[in-house]
Amino acid sequence: MPEAIRTGAAPSRRSRPRPSPPTADGVPAGIPAGAAGLGRRRLGVPALALMIIAASAPLTVVAGGVTSNYAVTGLLGIPLSFLVLGAVLMVFAVGYTAMSRWVSNAGAFYSYISLGLARWAGVGSAWVALVAYNAMQIGIYGMFGFVLSSFLAALGLTVPWWAAALAGWAVVGFLGINQVDLSAKVLGVVVALEFLIVLVYDVVALGAAPEGLSAASLEPSALFSAGVGAALVFSIAAFMGCESGAIYNEEVKDPRTTARRATLVAIVVIALFYAFSAWAMAVGEGDSAVVARSAELGPDLMFVFLEGRVAGWFIVLGNLLFMTSVLAALIAFHNVIARYLFSMGREGVLPPVLARTNRVHAPVAGSLVQSAVALAVIVVFAVAGAGHELGALFPVLTLFTWLTNMGALGLVALMMLTSFAVVGFFRRHAHTEGAWTALLAPLLAGAAMVVLLVMILANFGVLIGAEGGVLSWLLPALVLAAGVLGSLWAIALRRRRPDVYSRIGAGAAR
């Protein structure tokens, strides 16, 4: 990374920043002893784009997220919501991915906010990121446990949701301590099959079209009315993971282009694919019936629709891929968390042992810590759910719903701060970016994220099914508390260990 950025000096606007040389093991001078590097030059644009898309779980979003959005908001314009949010995230990606060309760090938000706003703010944001990503990842175990348990029950096997969740936990943990390209290969196969299932559904739905090929669901009036806030909040969850491209910037083939291209590709694919599939669902059920049918059938709507229209084995395959879709999201978020812990351990902000990697350069310490945290939370919810009145839906309506919405709140807050951090970074350091990239796009994205954050907070009780309850303010408060505690920890480091504080956000050398 540029020497001026690493040292904290402010170069002249006309000076060209020069890379700082790495040490023999690829770690910059000044990084705490015991740190190691991640695997280098393994990921290309296709592999990284697949990992980003996998985090959004395409089949899960279409079968579960889109139907839930129709049912809860009662709005027909759900397809348009994906296009609107895709445009917002494309603007966000302009500055965010431009910064990835100048800063290479596995803790992207953490590093960017540290270098663009303040080091104490960066550490606070890192703690928010750890809470948000862990909440997102661990919450998804609730959905995975429910889906796998239900599938086995259809085969005559009674397996509690928590045992099914632990099976997924073991797979995720194993892949987390292996080479990142192994995870990419597994995710690539899963995502390709998910797209196939959804595309077949889309084609069949458009062929059915009981009310004709209507474009009413794409009209602005179908979205921008009462309930638009909740609709956008539901849909933003489908894009969670789009920000993770820069996190792998130390492991890509070309740090200056791979993350940028993969992120832009992923955002475009996700926005267009989900918009098209949500439109196909409206056409397949009929504009006048899709909201009621979604409320009646929920995630089963897609598979009920396909019954009698495709071969039985295809529906079974679809159900299997529904499970692997959730598993793919678990793997993607696990990898992100492990790299955040690695980055913070490498810089001494957290115990240096977290920067340990294994012989294949996987962040093994961070991976094991994340697995341990996930195991503890699964056990707590398994005990709490024993004999609960919600029955089989307990892990979905509690663990999944509570934690994933909490995670989405934290990640939108981080994207908001990062947008403003991009402006601060390019104002402080010499660069070759234009005004659109370094100033205008980040400011627009930051303003849009502020609006989204307010919408999430205003609708949080509705999202978790506890409107007016304690959880409607407690869960957001936990995210805020993580940021405050992290910032206070950084301020303490500034007084007690100024050498560590000065390196916050430095990351790896180019």
Q: What are phi and psi of 310, to 5 degrees?
A: -135, 170
Q: Could you tell me where the DSSP H helices lie in 16-77?
A: 45-55, 58-60, 67-73
Q: What whole-number distance in Å separates Cα of residue 290 and Cα of residue 301?
A: 10
DSSP-assigned beta bridge partners for residue 447: none
Q: How far is CA 198 from CA 107, 279, 302, in A?
A: 33, 12, 9
State the burial class of residue 14 (Cβ atoms within 10 Å of its Cβ: 0-12, 13-18, 19+): exposed
pLDDT of residue 180: 56
State the burial class of residue 434 (Cβ atoms within 10 Å of its Cβ: 0-12, 13-18, 19+): exposed
pLDDT of residue 109: 82
The secondary structure of residue 16, as a DSSP letter, is P
Q: What are phi and psi of 329, to 5 degrees?
A: -65, -40
pLDDT of residue 41: 54
Question: Residue 118 in contact with residue 21, Cβ under 8 Å?
Answer: no
Cα radius of gyration (the chain): 22
Q: From the CB of residue 4, how many other CB atoms can be counted at a distance below 10 Å?
A: 18
Question: Residue 176 in contact with residue 334, Cβ under 8 Å?
Answer: yes
Q: What whole-number distance in Å separates Cα of residue 339 and Cα of residue 38?
A: 9
pLDDT of residue 154: 83
Q: What are phi and psi of 43, to 5 degrees?
A: -100, 130
DSSP annotation string for 156-189: T----HHHHHHHHHHHHHHHHTS-HHHHHHHHHH
Any idea which architecture 40-502 has in CATH?
A: Up-down Bundle (1.20)
Q: What whole-number distance in Å separates Cα of residue 103 and Cα of residue 493?
A: 23
Tell me the CA end-to-end span of the chain in Å, nearest whole number. 5
pLDDT of residue 206: 96
pLDDT of residue 132: 93
Q: Give pLDDT < 70 ranges for the chain.
A: 1-42, 55, 104-107, 179-185, 187, 243-247, 249-250, 255, 507-510
> pTM of the entire structure?
0.82
pLDDT of residue 105: 61
DSSP annotation string for 232-274: HHHHHGGGTTGGGGGGGTTSBS-TTTHHHHHHHHHHHHHHHHH
Q: What whole-number distance in Å separates Cα of residue 456 and Cα of residue 360?
A: 40
Q: What whole-number distance in Å separates Cα of residue 261 and Cα of residue 254?
A: 10
* The length of the chain, given as a count of residues: 510
Q: Could you tell me where the DSSP H helices lie in 464-497?
A: 471-496
